[in-house]
Every structure is written in structure tokens, then in C-alpha cells.
């Protein structure tokens, strides 16, 4: 068989169940390790080798991790790449952990591309709606709780809104919106305000 034919066999035979549970979001997911453990026996079965490498690349003013998965039968190679942007900051993580998390994310998604693994949910399914709604409700609860704690520390509501770059109307709009990333950003800001000076 050609390398493409062998890859098609692996894609057909690969079963990588979502064995990890996200308590925060209330859903199951598959990790990079899940995919690697599931694919190793198939690589051996079809006489293939898989290597994954990554490197930091600058795009604009931000660093991205570029991961490359290379599948080989000893004669031919197939490569798939994926990118993950390093966040500027993330609570409770040092710089090495930030890079490591981005590396794992990029490696996982280049394997998803190589082996045709789909991590997304159809937006029309009940599971997608329930998962998304659950995430939004949990994030809103976090914002409310953290805002109260941050207010105790700052002591002035308007000053706190100013630090967040928001006002009362925009905060109300945010809690009603479905913008998960915007909610997470505010949560990180609130955590930063609450934790400011505590580690000194």
C-alpha cells in the first residue's frame, strides 16, 4: 500500500474516546495523550512512524507555537501543521507553562488534521446547546462572585469598572451575551485585581 492508503486505514480504524472530564465546563474531551495512545498500535500495525515537532514563530507582535506532525513509511512523508497563540498572561502559570500549554494545543490539533479527528459539536445538536449554555452560566456566576471580591479590595465600583475598561451598562451586556472569550477575559482581569500584591 502507498502511504496515503495506509493513512486512510489509520483514519478509518482510529478510535480516540473522550476520556477526560472538564468539571468547569461539564463536558468530556480527548487530550493529546489520548490520541497518541490510541494511534500507536495502528502505526505499528501499518508500519508507520509518527513524529511531532514544534517551534515558536512571530506573527505580528505575538508569538505562536507552530506544531508539525510528520507521518512516514520510510519512503514517503506526509506533514500537517497547526498553530496556537501563546497568551500574554494566564493566572497561576509561569512562562514555561504558557508555552507548554500552547505546544500541547497545537500538537493536538495537527494530529486532529492528520487523522481526521473532529473535536467540534454541531451547533444544532442538544448536546452543543447544553454544553454552551452550561459554560455561559458558570462563567456568569464566576464574574458575579469575583466582581464582589474585587469590589471589596478596590472599594469603589466606578474605579473597578475603570480598571476593567467597562461600565455598568457594558457589564450587564456582557453577562447577557454569549461571548465566552470576553467573559473569560473579564474573569482573568478580576482575578488579577484580587491577587494583585498577594504574592509579594
* pLDDT tens for the chain, residues 1 to 200: 899 999 999 999 998 877 777 665 566 778 889 999 999 999 999 999 999 999 999 877 788 899 999 999 999 999 999 998 876 655 555 566 667 788 888 999 999 999 998 765 444 444 444 444 446 777 778 888 888 889 998 999 899 999 999 888 888 888 777 777 788 888 888 988 888 755 44
Residues 147 and 110 in one domain: no
Instruction: Decide if 144 is inside a domain.
Output: yes
Instruction: Decide if 120 is inside a domain.
Output: no
Residues 28 and 77 in one domain: yes
Residues 105 and 149 in one domain: no
Domain count across the chain: 2
Tell me if 72 sits within 8 A of 48, measured CB to CB.
yes
Exposed, middle or buried by CB within 10 Å (0-12, 13-18, 19+), for 72?
middle
The whole-model pTM stands at 0.55
Closest CA to 79 of 87, 67, 66, 68: 68
Residues 147 and 109 in one domain: no
Strands 49-59 and 27-29 turn out to be unpaired
Residues 20 and 78 in one domain: yes
Domain boundaries, position 97: 3-115
177 DSSP assignment: S
Residues 16 and 111 in one domain: yes
Phi/psi of residue 96, nearest 5 degrees? -65, -40
Instruction: Decide if 142 is inside a domain.
Output: yes
Per-residue cell: 92: 497561576
Q: Residues in the chain, how many?
A: 200
Instruction: Decide if 77 is inside a domain.
Output: yes
Amino acid at each position: 500500500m502507498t502511504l496515503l492508503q495506509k493513512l486512510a486505514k489509520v483514519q478509518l480504524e482510529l478510535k480516540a474516546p473522550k476520556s477526560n472530564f472538564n468539571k468547569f465546563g461539564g463536558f468530556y474531551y480527548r487530550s493529546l495523550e489520548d490520541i497518541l495512545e490510541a494511534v500507536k498500535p495502528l502505526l505499528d500495525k501499518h508500519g508507520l512512524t509518527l513524529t511531532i515537532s514544534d517551534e515558536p514563530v512571530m506573527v505580528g507582535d505575538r508569538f505562536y507555537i507552530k506544531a508539525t506532525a510528520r507521518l512516514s513509511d520510510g519512503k514517503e512523508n506526509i506533514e500537517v501543521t497547526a498553530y496556537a497563540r501563546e497568551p500574554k498572561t494566564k493566572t497561576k502559570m509561569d512562562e514555561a507553562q504558557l508555552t507548554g500549554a500552547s505546544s500541547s494545543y497545537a500538537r493536538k490539533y495537527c494530529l486532529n488534521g492528520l487523522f481526521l479527528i473532529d473535536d467540534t459539536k454541531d451547533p444544532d445538536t442538544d448536546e452543543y446547546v447544553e454544553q454552551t449554555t452550561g459554560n455561559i452560566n458558570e462563567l456568569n456566576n464566576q464574574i458575579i462572585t469575583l466582581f464582589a471580591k474585587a469590589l471589596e479590595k478596590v472599594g469603589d465600583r466606578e474605579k473597578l469598572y475603570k480598571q476593567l475598561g467597562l461600565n455598568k451598562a457594558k457589564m450587564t451586556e456582557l453577562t447577557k451575551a454569549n461571548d465566552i472569550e470576553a467573559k473569560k477575559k473579564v474573569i482573568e482581569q478580576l482575578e488579577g485585581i484580587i491577587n494583585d500584591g498577594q504574592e509579594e
